[in-house]
Amino acid sequence: MSVIALVLIALVALLHIYILILEMFLWTGPRGQKAFNLTPEFAAQTKSLAANQGLYNGFLAAGLIWSLVHPIPEFAWQIAMFFLACVAAAGIFGAATASRKILFIQTVPAVITMLAVMYL
């Protein structure tokens, strides 16, 4: 994979680590409420659901990081493509069910990164 593709994978992984932090630890605070447009009451009621979502975002980040450190380039490519496809699919579902902005926050970066992995 090219350096550009590796950097983009790392950026998508960092994005998902940030989402993990927002959903698992900052959900009921001002930053989490602002990021997800939540009322304090709704944030409190959905705290455990958000933590679960955050954990899944952590799994996506872990898979992307795995692709960056795997010693066999051909397998690292497959790992990256699998987890980027998962990120893109999660973004499409989130856009359809929660907020359209998720498409631009999650899916677009994942697809751009997939194209970089495939062609750069």
For 101-119, the pLDDT digits (tens) are: 999 999 999 999 999 999 9
pLDDT < 70 regions, the chain: none
Q: How confident is the model at residue 113, as a pLDDT?
A: 98
Domain range list for the chain = 3-119
What is each CA distance from 101 to 52, 65, 78, 93, 94, in whole angstroms?
20, 25, 28, 12, 9
Q: How confident is the model at residue 87, as a pLDDT?
A: 98
